[in-house]
C-alpha cells in the first residue's frame, strides 16, 4: 500500500498541464462532467450568489459501488470469508458447523441458504471480540495479499479513477471530503487515507459497540458483538448529523441505500449537488441496477430522474474506470 501512495499522484493525472486545464481528465465531455465543474465553480466563486464559505463545503461519498467496485460481492464480505479460512485451525468445530462449513468448502448454495443470519455469524466471528487495532491490522494484511477474483488485482486497485479525480478536485477547491458508507468504519479506515486521501476521522460507517479495557497492562478498545450503528439508508444522514454536524452541499452514492443521504443533502438551502453512479458498463465493470442483490439502484434512480440529480452513466461518462486501465475514447453514436 506504500507503493500505491507513491503512485497516486501519477494515477490522478496524465500530466501536470492536463491537470491544470482539466480537473477531471478521465471523464468524457458531457452533462455529468459539466454539472460537477459548474457546481464547484459556482460555490467557490467569491461574489457569486451561490458562494459557499470553505468551512461549509462538505462533500460526502458512499464507498462500495461509488468509490470502488462492489462486485461480485462487497469486498468486506470477501474479507470475512477469507478470515474464516485463516482462523479455521483455531476453531476445528467450524468444519461441521454452518455457515462456517460452507465458507470453508466454498459451498455458495449453502451460504445463500444461511441468509442474513449466517452472514451475521460470519461477521461476528471475524469482526468482533478483538481490539480495533487488531482488526485494522487484519484488514490491512488482507488488503495487501488478497486479489480480486475477476481482475487479479489488489482490491485497493479496484478503485474508480474518475472518482479519485473528483475527490482531488474538490479538495483543491477547499472542500472537506467524507466517506459515509454502510461498510464497517474500521475496515474502511484501514485503507481510505492511502487510497482516497480521506483521513480516518473523515470516515463514517457502520460500527459495533466498543469497550475500553486494560489487557496485560495495555489499554485497548475492544469490539463487542453488539451493533452500535447501521450506516445505511436513514442511518447515513443520522451519522452525518451526529459526526459532521453540518449538512453536506454535495453527496454521491450509487444505490437505494444512499437515497436518504441524497435527500438530506438536497433539502438544504442554497446550491446543492446530488449524484449517483449508474453501473452500465458490463464490458469494463458490471451492469446492474434495479434487480441486483448488491447495490440495488431502484427508488433512488427514479427520484434522481424526477428531481434532476446527476446520474453518471459509467459506460458513457467515464473514459477509464480503474487507474490501471488505458483511456477509452467515447464512441460517436
pLDDT tens digits, 120-147 = 999 999 999 999 999 999 999 999 999 9
Residues 263 and 297 occupy one common structural domain: yes
Residues 36 and 138 occupy one common structural domain: no
Q: Shortest CA distance to 266 belongs to which of 312, 206, 308, 204? A: 308
Cβ–Cβ < 8 Å for 167, 60: no
Residues 219 and 164 occupy one common structural domain: yes
CA distance 309 to 305: 6
Which H or E run contains 44?
helix 31-44
pLDDT per residue over 191-223, tens digit each?
A: 999 999 999 999 999 999 999 999 999 999 999
CA distance 298 to 244: 28
Residue listed under C-alpha cell 479455521: 88
Spatial neighbors of 25 by CB under 8 A, at least 6 apart, are: 13, 14, 18, 19, 165, 319
Residues 200 and 247 occupy one common structural domain: yes
Residue after which a domain boundary falls, among 145, 163, 197? 145
Residues 159 and 133 occupy one common structural domain: no
Residues 126 and 191 occupy one common structural domain: no
Residue after which a domain boundary falls, among 89, 110, 145? 145
Phi/psi region, residue 111 (left: phi>0; alpha: psi -120 to 50; beta: rest), is alpha
CA distance 201 to 195: 15
Residue 48 has pLDDT above 50, yes or no: yes
Range of the domain at 227: 2-72+154-317
Residues 302 and 163 occupy one common structural domain: yes
Residues 98 and 216 occupy one common structural domain: no
pLDDT, mean of residues 55-59: 99
Amino acid at each position: 500500500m506504500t507503493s500505491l501512495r507513491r503512485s497516486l499522484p501519477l494515477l490522478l493525472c496524465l500530466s501536470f498541464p492536463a491537470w491544470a486545464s482539466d480537473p477531471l481528465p478521465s471523464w468524457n465531455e458531457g452533462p455529468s462532467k459539466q454539472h460537477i465543474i459548474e457546481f464547484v465553480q459556482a460555490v467557490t466563486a467569491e461574489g457569486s450568489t451561490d458562494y459557499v464559505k470553505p468551512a461549509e463545503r462538505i462533500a460526502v461519498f458512499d464507498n462500495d459501488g461509488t468509490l470502488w467496485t462492489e462486485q461480485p460481492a462487497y469486498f468486506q464480505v470477501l474479507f470475512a470469508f477469507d478470515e474464516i479460512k485463516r482462523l479455521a485451525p483455531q476453531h476445528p468445530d467450524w468444519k461441521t458447523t454452518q455457515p462456517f462449513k460452507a465458507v470453508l468448502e466454498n459451498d455458495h448454495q449453502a451460504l445463500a441458504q444461511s441468509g442474513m443470519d449466517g452472514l451475521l455469524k460470519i461477521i461476528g466471528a471475524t469482526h468482533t471480540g478483538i481490539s480495533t487495532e487488531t482488526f485494522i491490522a487484519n484488514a490491512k494484511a488482507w488488503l495487501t495479499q488478497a486479489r480480486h477474483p475477476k481482475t487479479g488485482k489488489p482490491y485497493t486497485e479496484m478503485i474508480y479513477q474518475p472518482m479519485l479525480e473528483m475527490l482531488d478536485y474538490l479538495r483543491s477547491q477547499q472542500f472537506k471530503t467524507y466517506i459515509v458508507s454502510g461498510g464497517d468504519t474500521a475496515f474502511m479506515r484501514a485503507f481510505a487515507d492511502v487510497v482516497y486521501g480521506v483521513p480516518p476521522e473523515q470516515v463514517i460507517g457502520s460500527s459495533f459497540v466498543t469497550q475500553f479495557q486494560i489487557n496485560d497492562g495495555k489499554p485497548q478498545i475492544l469490539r463487542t458483538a453488539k451493533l452500535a450503528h447501521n450506516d445505511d439508508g436513514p442511518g447515513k444522514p443520522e451519522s452525518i448529523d451526529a459526526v459532521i454536524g453540518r449538512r453536506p452541499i454535495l453527496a454521491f452514492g450509487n444505490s437505494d441505500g444512499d437515497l436518504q443521504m441524497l435527500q438530506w443533502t438536497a433539502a438544504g438551502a442554497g446550491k446543492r449537488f446530488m449524484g449517483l453512479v449508474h453501473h452500465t458498463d458490463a464490458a469494463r465493470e458490471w451492469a446492474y441496477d434495479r434487480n441486483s442483490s448488491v447495490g440495488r439502484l431502484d427508488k433512488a434512480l427514479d427520484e434522481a430522474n424526477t428531481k434532476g440529480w446527476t446520474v453518471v452513466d459509467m459506460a458513457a461518462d467515464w473514459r477509464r474506470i480503474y487507474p490501471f486501465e488505458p483511456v477509452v475514447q467515447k464512441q460517436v453514436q
